[in-house]
């Protein structure tokens, strides 16, 4: 029986990775010019990190985390997100001593045992940033605008940015009681999951997708009404900074997000292009997290976005953009020997993207390969040409062709290259 990949964990083939690398390069550049430095943390961490950071009553920790006991009886887990590891590393390496505000970014895989569907995998890639050290709303605005501008930069304009403030942990607690009071009138109409959440994590009920529960939640008291004057000022200032940057948003007072660590600002960017898994990215402030993990009290904010969802929204045509400088068609062993040598010279001396045939197929089929790869030039080395120690250079767009001596044929491309470089 064939062994297949694990459900929800997908291979990225060369036709995918080409586009992924292009986007990753853009992201590295985008984050660098915003003053963020890359952090790479292990894929496996102690389970306790996520239990404490994300929250034991969240779906991510409770149901979706891949966690097991190591040989030394330590419970370890595949990371379900990258904020907790980044914060752990920040504390472990005393990064607070280096800068007042530490700006980190990451691109890497995360794992959640969710039900796979379009835009939802069990292994997925996240890119994201964490800014650790600033409590001020200008930092919130920078983070939100960065998240938004990446999509704009990539030409995705069907965007819906939603923001909210969940206040401090005291405000959250106060609101939890108010919400529970309200929901107690509808307890019989809630699903089993929501009934369970009512006791363990009532704010999560606001995320319910059920139409009946949405009706109930619609009239629930708003968390924004619980914010104290300082929290309200922070939220208002964040909005003013976003207005100033011309970032369009709507306020949704039910946006609490599925991780427990958020305080004050929360946000999500959705796209109409994605179907039911429409969240391109999500983030928010987590002012208590560093202290909770044994560090100092340091306010922070960040976001993460799913690479697969970004690629879906971009709707790449896999073949789009393939471009080859030269394809060498060779017929017969002697021609192959020459092809290998010419490939070597073109690549090593001129840095030209060149390919040759490795299937010893017919002239016609090799020409088809050249066309498929969108080659700009083809070098033809048939038996006849080899006898005469020449090769034919054909410009694919015009069909023009001429002969050149075999031992200096690569030099023609040096001239072409310097023309293009000017
Ligand atoms: P999150 O909302 O759980 O937040 O995930 C962020 C993004 O990762 C989502 O908006 C989505 O694009 C993508 N994503 C999540 N789960 C999956 C999945 N199963 N398959 C495909 N894509 C997925 C966080 O992870 C927080 N750490 C964000 C953050 C950073 N908050 C502060 N800093």
Query: Does the Cβ of 83 fall within 6 Å of ligand 1?
Result: yes
- Is 159 near ligand 1, meaning CB less than 6 Å away? no
Asked if residue 130 has its Cβ within 6 Å of ligand 1, the reply is yes
Best residue among 306, 312, 313 to mutate for probing ligand 1's pocket (most ligand atoms within 8 Å of CB) is: 306
**In this predicted structure, what is the pLDDT of residue 24?**
97
So what's the pLDDT on residue 369? Answer: 94
The set of long-range contacts for 62-69, using a CB threshold of 8 Å and a minimum separation of 24, is 63/113, 64/112, 64/113, 64/114, 65/111, 65/112, 65/113, 66/111, 66/113
- Residue 321 is predicted with a pLDDT of 57
- Tokens 């023309």 correspond to what residue? 419
Residue ranges in the chain whose pLDDT is less than 50: 318
> pLDDT by residue (tens digit) across 318-334?
455 567 899 999 999 99
Interval between CA 398 and ligand 1 midpoint (Å): 49
CA 155 to chain centre: 16
Distance 109 CA to ligand 1 centre (A): 11
Pairing of β 102-111 and β 37-38: parallel
Atom of ligand 1 nearest to the CA of 60: 3
pLDDT of residue 422: 53
pLDDT at 57: 82
110: its two tokens = 């995360």
d(C-alpha 89, C-alpha 400), whole Å: 60
Model pTM score: 0.88
pLDDT at 401: 96
Cβ contact 388:406 at 8 Å: no
Atom of ligand 1 nearest to the CA of 283: 31
Q: How far apart are the CA of 185 and the centre of ligand 1, in A?
A: 33
3-state secondary structure string, the chain? CCCCCCCCCCCCCHHHHHHHHHHHHHHHHHHHHCCCEECCCCCEEEHHHHHHHHCCCCHHHHHHCCEEECCCCCEEEECCCCHHHHHHHHHHCCHHHCCCCEEEEEEEEEECCCCCECCECCEEEEEEEEEECCCCHHHHHHHHHHHHHHHHHCCCCCEEEEEEECCCHHHHHHHHHHHHHHHHHHHHHCCHHHHHHHHHCHHHHHHCCCHHHHHHHHCCCCHHHHCCHHHHHHHHHHHHHHHHCCCCCEECCCCCCCCCCCEEEEEEEEECCCCCCCEEEEEEECCCHHHHCCCCCCCEEEEEEEHHHHHHHHCCCCCCCCCEEEEEEECCHHHHHHHHHHHHHHHHHHCCCEEECCCCCCHHHHHHHHHHCCEEEEEEECHHHHHCCEEEEEECCCCCEEEEEHHHCCHHHHHHHHHHHC
* Structure confidence at residue 322 (pLDDT): 64
Encode pLDDT of 23-79 as tens digits. 999 999 999 999 999 999 999 999 999 999 898 888 899 899 999 999 999 999 999
**Predicted pLDDT of residue 381:** 97
Atom of ligand 1 at shortest distance to CA of 128?
30
Distance 115 CA to ligand 1 centre (A): 15
Per-residue model confidence (pLDDT) at position 15: 87
């Amino acid at each position: 029986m064939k062994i297949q990949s694990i459900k929800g964990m997908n291979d990225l083939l060369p036709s995918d990775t080409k586009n992924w690398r292009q986007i990753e390069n853009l992201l590295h550049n985008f984050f660098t010019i915003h003053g963020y430095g890359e952090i790479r943390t292990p894929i496996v961490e102690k389970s306790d990190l996520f239990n404490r950071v994300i929250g034991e009553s969240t779906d991510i920790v409770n149901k979706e985390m891949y966690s097991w006991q190591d040989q030394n009886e330590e419970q370890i887990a595949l990371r379900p997100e990258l904020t907790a590891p980044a914060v752990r590393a920040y504390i472990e390496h005393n990064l607070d001593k280096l800068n007042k505000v530490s700006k980190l970014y990451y691109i890497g895989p995360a794992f959640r045992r969710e039900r796979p569907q379009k835009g939802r995998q069990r292994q997925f890639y996240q890119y994201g940033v964490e800014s650790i050290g600033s409590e001020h709303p200008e930092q919130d605005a920078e983070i939100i605008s960065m998240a938004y501008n990446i999509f704009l930069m990539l030409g995705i304009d069907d965007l819906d940015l939603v923001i909210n403030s969940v206040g401090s942990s005291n405000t959250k607690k106060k609101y939890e009681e108010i919400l529970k009071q309200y929901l107690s009138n509808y307890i019989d109409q809630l699903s089993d999951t929501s009934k369970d959440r009512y006791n363990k994590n009532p704010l999560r009920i606001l995320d319910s997708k059920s139409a009946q529960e949405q009706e109930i939640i619609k009239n629930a008291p708003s968390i924004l009404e619980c914010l104290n004057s300082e929290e309200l000022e922070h939220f208002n200032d964040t909005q003013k900074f976003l207005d100033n940057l011309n970032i369009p948003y709507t306020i949704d007072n039910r946006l609490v997000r599925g991780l427990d660590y958020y305080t004050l600002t929360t946000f999500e960017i959705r796209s109409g292009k994605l179907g039911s898994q429409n969240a391109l990215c999500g983030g928010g402030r987590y002012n208590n997290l560093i202290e909770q993990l044994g560090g100092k009290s340091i306010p922070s904010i960040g976001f993460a976005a799913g690479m697969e969802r970004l690629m879906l929204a971009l709707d790449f045509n896999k073949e789009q953009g393939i471009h080859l400088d030269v394809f060498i068609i060779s017929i017969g062993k002697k021609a192959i020997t020459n092809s290998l040598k010419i490939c070597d010279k073109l690549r090593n001396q001129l840095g030209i993207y060149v390919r040759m045939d490795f299937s010893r197929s017919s002239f016609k089929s090799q020409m088809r390969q050249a066309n498929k790869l969108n080659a700009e030039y083809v070098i033809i080395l048939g038996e006849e040409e080899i006898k005469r120690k020449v090769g034919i250079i054909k410009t694919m767009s015009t069909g023009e062709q001429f002969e050149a001596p075999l031992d200096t044929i690569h030099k023609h491309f040096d001239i072409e290259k310097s023309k293009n470089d000017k």
